């Protein structure tokens, strides 16, 4: 499949599984493996290992049109879901004539970059901003689409037409007792009417004060740990409100604050305020029936949150999470018997070294293990003096090979 279009298969002609040479970054540079029932493709640097189906250098120039020849058995463009880590924004030009159903881009930018995607045809676009590198300014597609931005939100700005829905997942601290996180200025994106905020249930709380910058909101979906809940009452135009995996609803307004509310979903929320919310939902139904779905369910006691989300392995693959929790339990038991700093160090060192021979320990997992070491340092012991965070992390760094 060379770059000479005359020798390429016709558009959408390849629908069968198999191995196909493609000119992704040069003549015959890659072999694409198509598997039955798989509609996704990941492209990125070799450091991603098996997380990327096709490895390319971060700054490689990519010929996205090589995928024109591929389609699903039903005849729609393949891949349906594309994930790319790198600096080449050429897929936006490609998407002007070849629709992309779902695109995830983790840009690797050495300098501030401006990209015009106004004529691109994307149903869903997710941008993952790393904490380093250049800023990204994106002129958004004119077509109605879904936009998600995660990571360091301060390094992203969107201009032009607004998405039909915006999802934000900022990178925050890991601890629920940290000072509340303040969202950065998002510029023109403040004009959206539908907003979703995704966050860890036991992570650093996000202050909802920033919602005052969103004057047009009629739909709001919250997931995770937030504070300043009373400020939600200012958004009296809400018609759709969802609350999921929220361990703290302190200060949550009465439902009377939203006279036009048609849909209410509260799922896996704290028990005390959840009971009050459930009663208000039933009372409201007697005076004005809910036009949409209304449900308050899975009310949780404080201990449930600790059991489900208290350890930093909840997002790990099941087999790795099982090993991590077993090692954590052993370290916890050893620390409970520790009577000296040397014995405490031995417990944390043994925990750390347990992962030296495991595959799949990358940056994210290393950060999770560092957090686990901090948690262990705060556990009960018989040492007779505190185990400081700096001390525990020195032991961790000295023992790890990842």
Residues 204, 247: Cα–Cα separation, whole Å: 12
Which pLDDT tens digit goes with each residue over 201-241?
Answer: 999 999 999 999 999 999 999 999 999 999 999 999 999 99
Which residues have C-beta within 8 Å of that of residue 287, sequence separation ≥ 6? Answer: none
Peptide bond into 73 cis (omega under 30): no
> For 99-193, where are the E strands, in sequence order?
100-107, 113-116, 122-129, 136-140, 146-151, 156-160, 165-170
**Cα 217 to chain center, whole Å?**
22
DSSP string, 196-262: EEE--TTSSPEEGGGGGG-TT-SEEEEES-EE-GGGGGG-TT-SEEEEEEES--TTPPPGGG-TT--
For β-strands 18-22 and 30-34, DSSP reports them as antiparallel
- What is the reported pLDDT for 6? 53
- What is the reported pLDDT for 174? 87
Tokens at 33, concatenated: 């493996």
Going from the C-alpha of 144 to that of each of 90, 119, 125, 127, 198, the distances in angstroms are 21, 11, 11, 17, 22
- What is the reported pLDDT for 391? 95
Residues 248, 233: Cα–Cα separation, whole Å: 17
Residue 94: is its pLDDT beyond 80?
Answer: yes
Which residues have C-beta within 8 Å of that of residue 243, sequence separation ≥ 6? Answer: 222, 223, 249, 265, 266, 267, 269
Residue 36: is its pLDDT beyond 80?
Answer: yes
- What is the reported pLDDT for 308? 86
- What is the reported pLDDT for 71? 95
Residue 5: is its pLDDT beyond 70?
Answer: no
Bridge partner list, 263? 240
Burial category of 218 from C-beta neighbours within 10 Å (exposed 0-12, middle 13-18, buried 19 and up)? middle
Residue extents of the structural domains in the chain: 5-308, 312-399
Which pLDDT tens digit goes with each residue over 70-81?
Answer: 999 999 999 999
- Give the mean pLDDT of the chain: 94
Radius of gyration of the chain measured on its C-alpha atoms: 25
Tokens at 246, concatenated: 């929220």
Residues 226, 176: Cα–Cα separation, whole Å: 10
What is the average pLDDT across 369-379?
94
What is the average pLDDT across 256-283?
97
| Structure-token match 């040492």, residue found | 383
Residue 159: is its pLDDT beyond 60?
Answer: yes
> CB of 354 within 8 A of CB of 348?
no
For the chain, percent of residues with pLDDT exceeding 90: 89
What is the average pLDDT across 287-292?
95
Going from the C-alpha of 199 to that of each of 11, 170, 190, 313, 377, the distances in angstroms are 41, 7, 19, 16, 25
Predicted TM-score (pTM) of this structure: 0.85
Tokens at 192, concatenated: 């959206």
Give the DSSP H or E segment for 349: helix 341-353
Residue 82: is its pLDDT beyond 90?
Answer: yes
Which residues have C-beta within 8 Å of that of residue 140, sequence separation ≥ 6? Answer: 117, 118, 147, 158, 159, 160, 161, 162, 163
**Share in percent of the chain as helix, strand, coil (round to 5):** 30, 25, 40
> CB of 40 within 8 A of CB of 82?
yes
φ and ψ of 121, to 5 deg: -110, 95
- What is the reported pLDDT for 315? 83
Residues 209, 195: Cα–Cα separation, whole Å: 14
CA angle 147, 38, 151 (to 5 degrees): 30
Which pLDDT tens digit goes with each residue over 309-364?
Answer: 989 998 898 889 999 999 999 999 999 999 999 999 999 999 999 999 988 788 88
């Amino acid at each position: 499949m060379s770059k000479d279009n005359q020798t390429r298969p016709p558009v959408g002609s390849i629908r069968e599984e198999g191995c196909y040479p493609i000119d992704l970054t040069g003549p015959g540079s890659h072999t694409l493996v198509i598997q039955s029932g798989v509609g996704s493709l990941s492209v990125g640097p070799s450091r991603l290992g098996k997380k990327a189906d096709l490895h390319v250098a971060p700054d490689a120039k990519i010929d996205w049109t090589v995928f024109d020849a591929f389609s699903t058995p039903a005849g729609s463009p393949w891949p349906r879901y594309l994930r790319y880590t790198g600096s080449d924004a050429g897929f936006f030009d490609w998407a002007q004539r070849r629709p992309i159903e779902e695109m995830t881009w983790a840009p690797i930018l050495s300098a501030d970059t401006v990209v015009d995607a106004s004529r691109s045809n994307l149903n869903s676009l997710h941008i993952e901003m790393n904490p380093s590198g250049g800023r990204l300014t994106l002129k958004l597609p004119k077509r109605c689409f879904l936009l998600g931005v995660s990571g360091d939100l301060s390094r992203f700005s969107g201009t032009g037409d607004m998405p039909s829905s915006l999802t934000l997942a900022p990178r925050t601290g890991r601890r629920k007792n940290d000072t509340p996180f303040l969202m950065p200025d998002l510029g023109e994106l403040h004009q959206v009417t539908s907003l979703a905020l995704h966050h860890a249930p036991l992570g650093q709380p996000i202050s909802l004060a920033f919602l005052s910058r969103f004057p047009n909101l009629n739909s709001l979906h919250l997931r995770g740990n937030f504070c300043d809940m009373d400020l939600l009452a200012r958004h009296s135009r809400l018609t759709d409100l969802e609350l999921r995996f929220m361990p703290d609803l302190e200060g949550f307004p009465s439902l009377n604050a939203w006279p036009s509310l048609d849909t209410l979903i509260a799922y896996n929320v704290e028990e005390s305020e959840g009971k009050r919310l459930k009663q208000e939902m039933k009372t409201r139904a007697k005076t004005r029936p809910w036009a949409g779905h209304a449900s308050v369910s899975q009310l949780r006691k404080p201990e449930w949150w600790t059991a489900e989300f208290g350890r930093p392995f909840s997002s790990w693959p099941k087999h790795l999470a099982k090993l991590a929790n077993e090692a954590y339990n052993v370290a916890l038991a050893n620390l409970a018997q520790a009577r000296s700093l040397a014995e405490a160090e031995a417990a944390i060192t043994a925990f750390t070294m347990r992962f030296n021979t495991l595959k799949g320990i990358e940056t994210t997992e290393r950060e999770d293990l560092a957090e686990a070491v901090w948690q262990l340092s705060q556990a009960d012991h018989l040492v007779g003096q505190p185990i400081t965070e700096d001390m525990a992390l020195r032991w961790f760094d000295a023992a790890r090979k990842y």
